[in-house]
Structure 1
Amino acid sequence: MSWLSQVLERNGSDPRVRLELGRELLDHLAINRLPSDSKILNEFCDVLFQWLASSNYKVSLLSLEIFGASLEASGDLLAPYLLERVIHVLERLVPIFIILSFFVNCS
């Protein structure tokens, strides 16, 4: 069983759990590549897109950070999976940028 599947098994709907798992994923991605198993990569992308659609903005932003780290570590493996789903990323980014610009302008 790969390190990624072990981490993904602990995924839940609680934002605190997702934030903890996200930090763990970032730590692993700093030293490891993603496994090449297509089933695990599909599950990884599905989980990150669930996080991206989360109502908790910290979880949403963390998913984008994980996508970035994943592409740096294993872009050759992950790119085909993301290209199929890129419209979902764009749909989620527009509201995030609007919210962030609101907070930046208020401070």
Structure 2
Amino acid sequence: MEALPGIWSLTPIGALLGAVVTLYWLLGSGRLIPRSSHERELAQAVKRGDEWKETALDQRTVNAEIRRQNTMLLEAGRTGAKFFADVAPSIEDTEDHRVGP
């Protein structure tokens, strides 16, 4: 049995509006989340962002060095492949059966 019959048909809109106004007032006045806590969290977020930015810049330098070394390695591979292609005799079927199958 309800203490106040029909009250639930009236409360949803008023309760929602009251909750929104109260929440806005608490946030605006700094009672729900104190300004010092909010500023501390913002400072930590900025610090983390700066750390990520510094790490990304360091990684760019490392990646540039890796690309340079890979380019040198590929060039050495091309040089070696060309050398062996020029020096090594072409292997064809010479009818020499001393070589295994």
Question: Is the pair's TM-score, using the shorter chain for normalization, greater than 0.5?
Answer: no
Taking structure 2 as the reference length, the TM-score comes to 0.29
Q: Which of 1 and 2 has higher RCO (CA within 8 Å, sep 6+)?
A: 1
Question: Higher helix share goes to which structure?
Answer: 1
